[in-house]
Amino acid sequence: MPGGGPRLRVATIPNAITGLRVVLAPVFLWLYATGNTDRALAAFLAAAATDALDGLAARLLDQRSALGAVLDAAADKLLLACALVALAWRGQLPWWLPALVVGRDALLSVGAAFLAATDHPMEISPTRLGKYATAVLAAAIVVALAAEFGGVARDKAAPWVAALGLLASLLVVASTVQYAYYFVRGIRSNRREAGSS
């Protein structure tokens, strides 16, 4: 509409690449759970590759958008969750680790929805602890997958996977507490601003 704000760009090449990651994540999980390990690895590597490609395409084509950032973060979380569930399925990781990660993300989503519903909008951006947790989780997944697909001996990988999983769980808990603190601080700040107006 002439004179209106900028249009919401949905059908872009970066968003299409991100959408491919959303599709490939559960495909990887299904292939892995059903024993098609070679195809599962191919699906996982393709999904991981799209994580770099969508950002590169967004910059080169100047198609960065708020929607793309949200989709990218959601796709990353979905791929991470699928990988954790797949490894827990095969006994490479304890089930409580994916449950912890998924539970944290669910709490963040509920918290963000609550803030929006109560007129306390707050932008949720990754914290340093959250980024550390994601990096350590990714390292645990890579080592576990390397052992699963024969890249390294399982007996040598197991202690590393256990240590990385434990460290990741501590960081996930710490990041959850940090997010909760930001939520409470955001609500109090908004209430003070409303009271002073």
The helix/strand/coil state of 159 is: helix
The string of pLDDT tens digits covering residues 8-38 is 556 788 888 888 899 999 999 898 888 887 8
CA distances from 106 to 18, 37, 89, 94, 191 (A): 21, 29, 21, 19, 25
Last residue of a domain, which of 90, 108, 130? 90
Contacts 24+ apart (CB under 8 A), 114-122: 115/183, 115/186, 115/187, 118/187, 119/190, 120/186, 120/187, 120/190, 122/182, 122/183, 122/186, 122/190
Residues 118 and 81 in one domain: no
Q: Where are the alpha helices (DSSP H) in 61-153?
A: 66-89, 96-117, 128-148
- The conformation of residue 113, written as its DSSP 8-state character, comes to H
- Rg from Cα positions in the chain: 19
Residues 95 and 171 in one domain: yes
Residues 168 and 106 in one domain: yes
The string of pLDDT tens digits covering residues 140-161 is 888 888 887 776 777 888 899 9
Residues 69 and 122 in one domain: no
User: Which range of residues forms the domain containing residue 117?
Assistant: 91-197
Residues 85 and 97 in one domain: no
Q: Which two tokens stand for residue 64?
A: 């960065």
Per-residue confidence (pLDDT) for residue 50, from 0 to 100: 86
Residues 117 and 29 in one domain: no
Sequence-ordered list of residues with C-beta below 8 angstroms from that of 146, at least 6 positions apart, any chain: 152, 157
The string of pLDDT tens digits covering residues 36-66 is 878 888 888 888 888 778 877 778 777 777 6
Closest to 24 (Cα-Cα) out of 48, 43, 45: 43
Last residue of a domain, which of 90, 107, 141? 90
How far apart CA 93 and CA 141 sit, in angstroms, is 9
Q: Which residue bears the tokens 């090449």?
A: 13
Last residue of a domain, which of 90, 119, 143? 90
Residues 86 and 99 in one domain: no
Q: Which two tokens stand for residue 56?
A: 């590169």
Residues 145 and 119 in one domain: yes
The string of pLDDT tens digits covering residues 98-134 is 999 999 888 887 877 777 776 766 666 677 888 888 8
- CA torsion sign for 95, 96, 97, 98 is positive
Residues 83 and 124 in one domain: no
Residues 166 and 97 in one domain: yes
Into how many domains does the chain fold?
2
Residues 101 and 196 in one domain: yes
Residues 95 and 192 in one domain: yes
CB 93 within 8 A of CB 140: yes
